[in-house]
């Protein structure tokens, strides 16, 4: 999850890993129907069971970010990311990702 958020942050010019910027960029990609969103959905489905249990996947995604933060002592955007997750934005995003068609299928 941290890798996904970092890559999407890089897409929009983040100078350092910033999970909040990455989350926002991923939301934008899903809204735009970006093909990368389908790839992310497939990756997260494989790794955290996105399409099987989106609530569990949301908890695992949040846990991954917090574990990364705890292990390194810092990570840009964690407070904002956690607040957005608490407001349900992470769950909503993962639900929308889970609804993405699998990559390679039309």
User: Which of 4-18, 29-43, 59-73 shows the lowest mean pLDDT across its residues?
Assistant: 59-73
Q: What is the dihedral of CA 10, 7, 80, 15, to 10 degrees?
A: -30
Please report the pLDDT score of residue 105 as a whole number. 54
Cα–Cα distance, 8 to 3 (Å, whole number): 9
pTM: 0.84
Please report the pLDDT score of residue 69 as a whole number. 82
> How many CB atoms within 10 Å of residue 77?
22
Domain boundaries of the chain, sorted by first residue: 2-98
């Amino acid at each position: 999850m941290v890798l996904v958020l970092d890559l999407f942050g890089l897409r929009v010019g983040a100078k350092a890993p910033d999970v909040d910027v990455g989350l926002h960029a991923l939301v934008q990609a899903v809204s735009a129907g970006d093909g990368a969103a389908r790839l992310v959905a497939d990756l997260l489905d494989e790794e955290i069971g996105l399409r099987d249990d989106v609530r569990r996947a949301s908890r695992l995604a949040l846990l991954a970010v917090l574990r990364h933060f705890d292990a390194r002592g810092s990570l840009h955007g964690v407070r904002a990311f956690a607040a957005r997750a608490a407001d349900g934005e992470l769950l909503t995003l993962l639900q929308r990702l889970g609804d993405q068609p699998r990559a390679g299928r039309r």
